[in-house]
Amino acid sequence: MAEIMKNWIIADRSQLLLLQPSIDEWLPEDHLARFVVEVVEQLDLSPILAKYEGRARGSNPYHPALLTALLIYGYATGVMSSRKIELATRESVPFRFIAGGHHPDHTTLSEFRRRHLEELSALFVEVLLLAREMGFLKVGTVAIDGTKVKANASKHAAVSYKRARALERQLRNEVDKLMEAAEGADNTPLREGVDIPAEIARREERIEKLRAAQRVIEERRAQEAVEEYREQHERHIEKTGEAVARALSKKKERARRLPDPPERPSLEPDDKAQHNFTDPDSRIMPDGGAFSQAYNGQLSVDTATMLIVGQHVTQHTNDKQELLPAIGSINREIYTPEAVLADAGYYSEENISQAPEEIDLLVSPGKTRHNLSLEERLGPAPEGPAPANATPAAAMRHKLRTEAGHQLYRLRKMTVEPVIGIIKQAMGVRQFLLRGAGKVRGKWGLVCLGYNLRRLWSLKTAPQA
């Protein structure tokens, strides 16, 4: 069969360029990489530059602005490994543009991130300040939620409280037997290669680690017991108030017996309470129907722009204690929240009473139903404030059922949950690679910084209506 003749365009890979190529021409004018470079040029990098003063030895270092832009763009696009960033400076046009034709090795990138993690994470606030100057952040509504991010530690590298005590007893028995063997060594020769002092020292070291693990678990349980008693006390007050309100509203109804006060919780740790040896700051947390060794990353997101205005990382397995810290993580000099939306995991009477009075809180006291009955959907929404004798939980339910409260609260899952999805799916942040609460907080700050730059670029380049 004869070949069909075509004027094919053939790749000439040995073709020389007549003019010197320009990296600046490789990217469109509105590319994210250009935006990252422009933003980094406006950031205050003096805390990082100060660490280079007096360091004259060695080869010339890369400028912190170059490395910072590479890291931020990597986080914004889901390329967080220093080795992958190094490779991208050779294979990816945006990374080559940011690096200006240089190729910092992964050791340089990793060391720069390690030495300046705190300063890099602090740039999160500066980017928010830039967003305000661009007119995107003013006064608004904030939606709060948390997500579990796996720690750089296996849950199998942990020991339970029960297992730690059992291992300690076993090792102490072995030490006693080794001591007896050492005392009777003159009469009973030891097997060749057995070093009793070394065997005892190794076991004593393990015993000390197990004892330290037990102390950590015991201290943690003491803190949890205080928190549990406070929550039970709040629920007791709420139930007592509801019982009194029912009695006052129905005078003919026979007064019901008031609920019993809560019992003091035990300070004894649960046998299953665990301590992880690889990353002691991480915790076993429920995550999507399973359990993971993880941290709890918290986000406060502006509902109008979907920019993260506050963030922090906690070791608490639930969100009950995170409402006030989440509100406190918002820099009021940059952004003023008028209303805060949160799900039932954040509700407690203490949180409601201690929150700033100028902020309108909409926090569900219980799980909200997604499928309302036809009567509930067609029926009129309550108007006006809640009854004067309503408990805090009843008053909050009343506020959420009003037309204004319902329309505002529905923004919660439309705002913060998509942001969590972008961070975990598009950016690929499913596990922290660093260990320790301090480093994890810095890493989470970098993640939020990368997301905000990506979102700010989208807002800036979006077609104007």
414-454 pLDDT, tens digit each: 999 999 999 999 998 999 988 999 999 999 999 999 999 99
Residue with tokens 């010197």: 20
pLDDT of residue 149: 93
Distance in angstroms (rounded) separating the CA atoms of residues 465 and 451: 24
Question: For residues 323 and 337, is the Cβ–Cβ distance under 8 A?
Answer: no
- Encoding tokens for residue 292? 């993971």
Rounded mean pLDDT, 274-282: 86
Distance in angstroms (rounded) separating the CA atoms of residues 268 and 184: 41
Rounded mean pLDDT, 73-80: 92
Q: Cα angle vertex 299, ends 294, 302, to 5°?
A: 165
Question: For residues 397 and 365, is the Cβ–Cβ distance under 8 A?
Answer: yes
The pLDDT of residue 354 is above 60: yes
The pLDDT of residue 117 is above 50: yes
- Encoding tokens for residue 396? 């909050």
Among 299, 289, 325, smallest CA distance to 424 is for 299
The pLDDT of residue 1 is above 50: no
Rounded mean pLDDT, 160-188: 76
Taking each helix axis from N to C terminus, what angle separates 117-133 and 32-42, rounded to the nearest 10 degrees? 100
Q: How far is CA 391 from CA 239, 369, 399, in A?
A: 9, 21, 12
- From the CB of residue 350, how many other CB atoms can be counted at a distance below 10 Å? 17
Distance in angstroms (rounded) separating the CA atoms of residues 364 and 342: 7
The pLDDT of residue 272 is above 70: yes
The pLDDT of residue 374 is above 60: no
The pLDDT of residue 296 is above 50: yes
* Residue 363 backbone phi and psi in degrees, to 5: -125, 120
3-state secondary structure of 180: helix
Distance in angstroms (rounded) separating the CA atoms of residues 197 and 203: 10
3-state secondary structure of 82: helix
Note the pLDDT tens digit of each residue in 6-43.
Answer: 677 777 767 776 767 777 788 888 899 999 999 999 99
- Encoding tokens for residue 401? 């059922």
Residues in the chain: 465
Please name every residue paired with 204 in a beta bridge, in sequence order, or none if there are none: none
Distance in angstroms (rounded) separating the CA atoms of residues 287 and 147: 9
The distance of Cα 144 from the centroid of its chain, to the nearest Å, equals 12
Q: Model's pTM, two decimal places? A: 0.80
Q: How confident is the model at residue 241 (pLDDT cuts 50, 70, 90)?
A: confident
CB burial of 253-266 (b: ≥16 within 10 Å; e: otherwise) equals eeeeeeeeeeeeee
The pLDDT of residue 160 is above 90: no
Distance in angstroms (rounded) separating the CA atoms of residues 319 and 285: 12
> At a CB cut-off of 8 Å and minimum separation 6, what does 262 contact?
229, 232, 233, 235, 236
- Encoding tokens for residue 316? 């608490």
Rounded mean pLDDT, 276-291: 85
Q: Which amino acid is at 416?
A: V
Q: How confident is the model at residue 223 (pLDDT cuts 50, 70, 90)?
A: confident
